[in-house]
Amino acid sequence: MREQLIISISGLRGIVGENLTERVAADYGRAFGTFLKSGGVGKRAGRLSVCIGRDSRGSGPMLASAVAEGLCGVGIDVIDVGLVPTPTVGVMVTHLDCAGGVIITASHNPIQYNGIKLLLGNAVAPPVDAAARIKQRFLDKRFDPVDSARRGRTILNEQADATHIKKVLAIVDKEAVSAKRFKVVLDSVNGAGGGIAKKLLAELGCRVSAINGEPTGLFAHTPEPIAENLTELCAAVKAERAEIGFAQDPDADRLAIVDEAGRYISEEYTLAMAAKHIFSKRTGKAATNLSTSRMIDDVARKAGCEVIRTPVGEANVAAAMLENNCVIGGEGNGGIIDLRVSPVRDSLVGIALVLQLMAETGMSVSEVVADIGGYYMTKTKFAADAGQARQILDRAKAAFADARLDTSDGCRFDFDDGWVHIRSSNTEPVMRAIVEAKDREIAQGYIDAVMKIRSELLG
């Protein structure tokens, strides 16, 4: 069965050569450019420009060229920053005062996929209403082409790495980290992050052993940076006697960590560790989504700070951070956002903040993890259409009537000993249930309760 092209709030994703073609990419560029020219989310004076970057997938150059052709065809100038991480495009959008940004990436999806991610001029994905307008223009083929005299032009910019690194170094004490001469193993899964991450680590005085560092787009292992995919990194950290291992996903907006003993620690710790450092320096609010661990709340509480919870999605977290001037934010998938750099999840920011934390506290990764504490988290999903999803949520409200309830994205039920978050996927007809509790037995009890509701309704 042929897969459908997925068009969501953050952009478009599909299988290259099947439902994602040069024509599709060019039309999506035309739709985005026409949207920006029509005022988008605010008028801009003069000629508009859009920054384009791509990850290392082999289809990236073709799709980037097609999107650029679409943008130029409606009179938008294109600034091509080449093969760079997603957060680097976010940095360059604001640095160059662009009207928007485009990243050709399918993030951690398998190699046959690619995608087109959109950013507005503030480096945040379009809000729901704007994303819907772009999508409808694309589907209706309502573009605003210009004649040859008014076509946009493409300009190459080779300063993206240097600009991004400079902004990251500005938020840490370079000398303090460099003095420690940390031994680091870096796994960039043959994606876009290896080159720039090695440059950053060199600036921070680290001794780096890189694996899967060439940006071939031929991923050495399943690209999502989770425990079962990082056995090579764990072994390398242990063999090299390194103090820490870092794993990026293909577009380098997520960061996972391996401790000095070669043990993978949950991606949830990336945000908690970054926040622990930030709150030691600055007071203020943090923002994260409803599916992220309570560890961030524990860290914030110790510092006398507050955590704002948002619906799942980077754009939602970034919007809350901008609205509340948050000092740190991100998601439990290893995505860290520091507004001093960019409102985009950024593995480079995570690397810098975690190394700064280790340098200042003198603690190893395992010691930091022990100090933060932890919970048991489990996730499951099951098929459910919109009507079934509503029934499941209604039953869950009755079953968990004593819990504190947040309905901004499905339902999150908070108890003294844990929480349950049940929500529908934005991209497929399934429901996701995420449970976190003090121990496995308590978590299993909550999962069992959810699955009982599911089986009673769906069989």
> Are 368 and 402 in the same domain?
no
Within-domain flag for 361: yes
> Are 310 and 392 in the same domain?
no
> Are 132 and 182 in the same domain?
no
Contacts of 215 (CB under 8 A, 6+ apart): 56, 83, 188, 190, 191, 192, 194, 195
> Are 356 and 436 in the same domain?
no
> Are 203 and 262 in the same domain?
yes
Q: How far apart are CA 459 and CA 372, in angstroms?
A: 41
> Are 342 and 225 in the same domain?
yes
> Are 65 and 171 in the same domain?
no
> Are 172 and 304 in the same domain?
yes
> Are 317 and 224 in the same domain?
yes
Are residues 307 and 286 in contact, defined by beta-carbon separation less than 8 angstroms? yes
The residue annotated as part of the active site, out of 10, 56, 65, 107, is 107
pLDDT computed for residue 2 by the predictor: 59
Within-domain flag for 313: yes
Within-domain flag for 1: no
Q: What is the CATH number of the domain that holds 201?
A: 3.40.120.10
Token reading at 278: 């930030």
Are residues 382 and 430 in contact, defined by beta-carbon separation less than 8 angstroms? yes
Q: How far apart are CA 396 and CA 388, in angstroms?
A: 12
10-residue mean pLDDT profile of the chain (459 residues): values are 76 93 98 92 79 97 98 98 98 97 92 94 93 96 96 97 98 98 98 98 98 96 95 98 98 98 96 98 96 97 97 94 98 97 98 98 98 94 92 96 96 97 86 96 96 89
Within-domain flag for 124: yes
Give the domain range for residue 142.
6-158
Is residue 324 exposed (0-12), middle (13-18) or buried (19+ Cβ within 10 Å)?
A: middle
> Are 399 and 339 in the same domain?
no
Domain boundary among 323, 355, 372: 372
> Are 97 and 186 in the same domain?
no
Within-domain flag for 85: yes
Residue 148 catalytic?
Answer: no
Domain boundary among 335, 350, 372: 372
Q: How far apart are CA 194 and CA 243, in angstroms?
A: 19
For the chain, the domain total comes to 3
Domain boundary among 324, 355, 372: 372
Are residues 320 and 408 in contact, defined by beta-carbon separation less than 8 angstroms? no
Q: How far apart are CA 134 and CA 29, in angstroms?
A: 10
pLDDT computed for residue 41 by the predictor: 64
pLDDT computed for residue 45 by the predictor: 67
